Structure formats: structure tokens, C-alpha cells
Structure 1
């Protein structure tokens, strides 16, 4: 494993831990304020963006609950009503989020303007990547493989198939056992394998390999990633294994695909 690959793995691990820590912090704030995630998002939007039309309030937000708690109020505005943050809410925000903001600013003090531009650019690009993949995963929920007709023929339900597909997407970088997939469907390995093939037209193993190849094709457009690193990133044990499976699925080698998508 190259030093770069080790570093990228460490960054990936740290990002996941950062997300977990952020979720823990938000959960603690929610406990203190007796609010759910949607309500916390609404408070943050009002704090940073100012008063907002009722139509712009985050979906799932219990506005009445926020009003009863004294965190927001409705007021007349051009074109309808808008939601405004109360001073009571601002005091709580300063108490709960203020120290975190101060520590965050202290962390960034040693960074130059050029460094900050790199960080800002990375975060913008990373958010776009997350949004794109969130959209990709949401489309799996509309897959036709789990239709009632498929279930009558012995296939998986739409919900079970989606759970399996989402699990595969989230774990392509490591070995995926059929038993893990069967567990997501609530079936034994034997019945799951048969039902999965009925729903998708392929075995679980073939599906995982296909998804690895499709993910690899996306990564091949980034010249900074070597073929070996891409193979490891999508779960192949070696570059030769990656090349063999890729050629079997697409009819071409990864190197040929890379040359075809390389900037000219």
C-alpha cells in the first residue's frame, strides 16, 4: 500500500470521526433544547440567514413546537408570513454554539489566506460530491427490481432490495460477504441468493463486481488516482485482479478507459 493510499485512508477515517462527533454534538444540543434535528437546522438557518418565509422552512420542521418553546415567532411580511428568531433563541445559540465557534476560529488562525482558500474550495467540492452521491443512492429506492410482480415470482421486496443495494454502495472498499447481504434482506443465504437473482437478473457476487467496476469508471476520470489506488478503493485485492474483472465486465482494460477520458 503506497504512502499516499495510507494517507487517504487516514483522511477518510478522520472525516467519518468528525461527522460522528458533529452528530454527537447536535444530539446533545437537541437534548438541551428538547428539539429534533429538523428544528435545529431551522434555528441555524434563521441564525445565519436571518428571517425566512414560511415556505422556506426546512421540511419536517415543527414550527409550532419552536414557537411554544419561545425560539421563533411569526410576523407579517410582503407576500405572507415569515419566521423570526427570538432573543431567547439567540442567547441559547451563543451559550451552546459560541464556544465551539471560538475554538474553530482558533484552529484556523495559523492558516494563511491561501490555505483557507484551499480548505474552502475542498469543502465546496466535497459537498457537491456528497449531494451527487446522495441523489444516486436515492434513485435506488425507485428500482423496479423489487416490484410486486417480482415478489410474486420469488424476488425481494423493494425495501429489502434497497437495503441490500445501499449496503453494497457503502461498503465497496472492503470485502462484502453474501451473509451480510442476506442479513439485510431478512432471509437465509440460500433463499436470499435465489430471490436476489430473481429481482436483478444476476447473482449477488456479480452485482457487487458490477458496482465496483462502475465506481472505478467514475474514479478513472481523476488522473491524480493511480490504477492501483483505484482498484484498492473499490475493493479489489490487487491491480491485476482489478484489471481482470474490469475487462470481463466492460470488454476493456482500466488503462484504455483512462486514456479515453483523459483531458486533451
Structure 2
């Protein structure tokens, strides 16, 4: 079964363009797989496409003779493209659940470490540790933590299944292959091991407190490692910088990091968020990878 994915973004600012790119006009192209990617002839003819911005002249940066920027202060370019591919979104949502869980774990651990450095009482430390332990045992989606505000018109989002519940029940409707099933079982067994690791008697003696923090960081890093999937769900996303009809620099993004979902836990880490991208020059084929 195929699905249509719509990829779009807005460029807020382009700055620190090195003068070595020459005094030419510049545009940007957003592509995923073959969608949005223009061939050299189309670039040379300046063909219109929704995935490419118009041409911009570069202008100097004040008090900086080595770098330039683009004049897009008042009109921010929006670029988009559509891509039809097999629907493997369940792989990306599982990856995002683990990535978001790891990020939230790191946040809780930093708060716990801050209280240790602040010489908090054992009761406060135990309360925070139990909060981390409870979170790891349930791994909720995070929708229940949303507060009503003006953007959602006072409506609180629903609460979806916890990660443990998702992994406990296989869903044949998703048409998971053998690797998907093995990955599901591997994640489930590893999570059970992590739960056993964190569920133990804790001694908040001053000489052992930072050992507890080290163990918690190991658990959070293990969660992040479980998010890796050997089967790509979608091709990588590229943002190309084009000078004089030639691709001179790019930024590469993982598709699951931009995936939208109504469930907060399944949403990509960068979805709907402003990102600062540092572009790099494409590697020449005869030069080794550094």
C-alpha cells in the first residue's frame, strides 16, 4: 500500500555565505528521493517548480567582508513537494517514540543531577528518581502532558497507548515483515532489561549519588540507540543550495525527524520547529571520505 507524503518548509534566513561561491544568484531546492529534484537541464533553464525558490542576489553582511546573506527579510520562501512511497510510517513512529522518550529521559536526569548539585534532601531525590523510574516503566506518548492554550482552542489532545502497550500487541494490519517483527521483539526485551536495571534499591549516600546519575545516563543512551532502524522507511531529505545552476552545498535530514503525527510521541523531533542548518559541500567522488 502506498501513501502520499507532503514535504514543505519555509526558509527564514540565509546568512554566512562564503565569498568563494562567487558573485552569482542563489536558490534553494528541497527534495526527497526523486521528488523535487531537478535535473541539470531544468536548472539551467530556470524551470519553475514548487520545490525550488526563486533566484536571489547575495548582499554583503555589515562589518564582514568574507561572508554574504540573501535578502529574504520580508518575503520568506516556502518550498514543498509530494512524494508517493510505500507506507512504512509505523517504522518511523516507533523510532520517534524511542527518540522522544530518550530526550525526555535526558531532561528528567538533568533535573535530577541539578538537585544533587544543589544539595537537595534525600526525600526530594527519591521523589525525582521514582518519577524517572515510573516514566521508564510506562513510556507514555506525552499527549496527556499538553496544556490547553490558545493554539489548540482549549482542547486537550487524547492519550494514546504507551510504548510498552504498542510493543506487547502485534498489529498484522501493518504488514510487518520478519525484520520488523524481530526489531519489535528486540526493543521489547531491551526495555524489560532497562526496567529491571532501574528498579533496585537506591542509596543516596553522597559518595554514590553521581554513580546513580551515570547509570541513568546509560539507560537514556540505550533508549536512543534502540531508535536506530536498519530498514529505511523513506529516502533522506536534501536541502540543496544552487549557485549558477550548480549544486554547491547541501544539508541532509532524516525523514522520521520531520514526520507529523497527531500523537506527540510519534511526531518527529524537528517537526514544526525552527532549525539552524549548516550546509556542507558535496564530496567529490575521487576524494576519500574524511
TM-score (norm 2): 0.19
- Higher normalized contact order (CA 8 Å, seq sep 6+, divided by chain length): 2
> Which is helix-richer, 1 or 2?
1
TM-score (norm 1): 0.20
